[in-house]
Structure 1
Amino acid sequence: MKKHEINISIDEAKSALKNIDKTEQDTNKYLRMPIWLNISISSSFGMGVFSWASTRHENLWMLGVIISSAVFFIAVGIYLYSSRLLGVKPKVLPTRKSELKFGLITAIFFGLVVALTKVVSAGELWWLSYVGSIFGAFAFAYFLHFFPSGDYRRGLNKNV
């Protein structure tokens, strides 16, 4: 058997690349959650970081951690359920090596935000619990908005 080679012109290749970029942009648009849900998930994460950093000894801030965790998981559940109703199935586990790497890096990043906020705000710098929680909430909202597929290669496209 002979292999048939198909020669593609430069214009056809450019058109195919534009179609791939458009498909990736459309995928990100469909996977992206509504702004109100992004705000509720991010703010509950920020409140959880603040409450965890404010817990010293045995006080009521642990109740804030519990409530913000409950709101966080309920909002994520609403996102997953509403996405299923719309016919979009967001991935929970990574399927590619780049997604796994991105997930591990972001998990380490947010783990460091939580741990550093707790450790640094324990002394006289109590106000850093506010800074750490606000930084964590805005970073979480940024990642949820610009990287909904969990892949850094598909995240920031030109015309988002």
Structure 2
Amino acid sequence: MQPPSISSSASGPAQADALFASWLQECADVPAVQALTPATKSGLLTVLHHILADTGDINVDHQDVWALLAGATSLQFGMATGGGHNRAAVVGQQLWESSTLLGDATLPAHRILLAIQSGTTPELEMDELTQILEYVVSQAGDQVEVVFGHGLNPALGGSIQVMMLVSRQ
């Protein structure tokens, strides 16, 4: 399935809206789409907006998102923000535990997309990135493919924010 044609000048929210509409239309018979409720539609669209809000800085684009959505029988998504001394461990656990699952949880995770933002004081450190990735992979399964990007968002201060999409097949 080819990604929908989206203008390169389209804003992140416009890209997210176009991807979401295409996914709903092209994958209408997929259990993840059929499991959507008004609340989960809103939550997923919020995560997509955040992921695509600043693609130049996060380095995850609409094609990465489309590849995950189009290949998902079941879909898991979430977003978490954490700060303080052990912020990476806190945000990783919070992200996984508060995520929403659309479809069959027994299906193996196939692909994970993580978009990670940190404030500038301090920026995300390599050991924190490793800690987040290792935690999420340990929860999803060692055979999962991971796509991630990282960017800076000064508004986060000393916190980090992680947005996650997980396809299950």
Task: Give the TM-score, by structure 1 length.
Answer: 0.29
Q: Which has the larger radius of gyration?
A: 1
Structure ranking higher in strand proportion = 2
Higher relative contact order (CA 8 A, sep 6+): 1
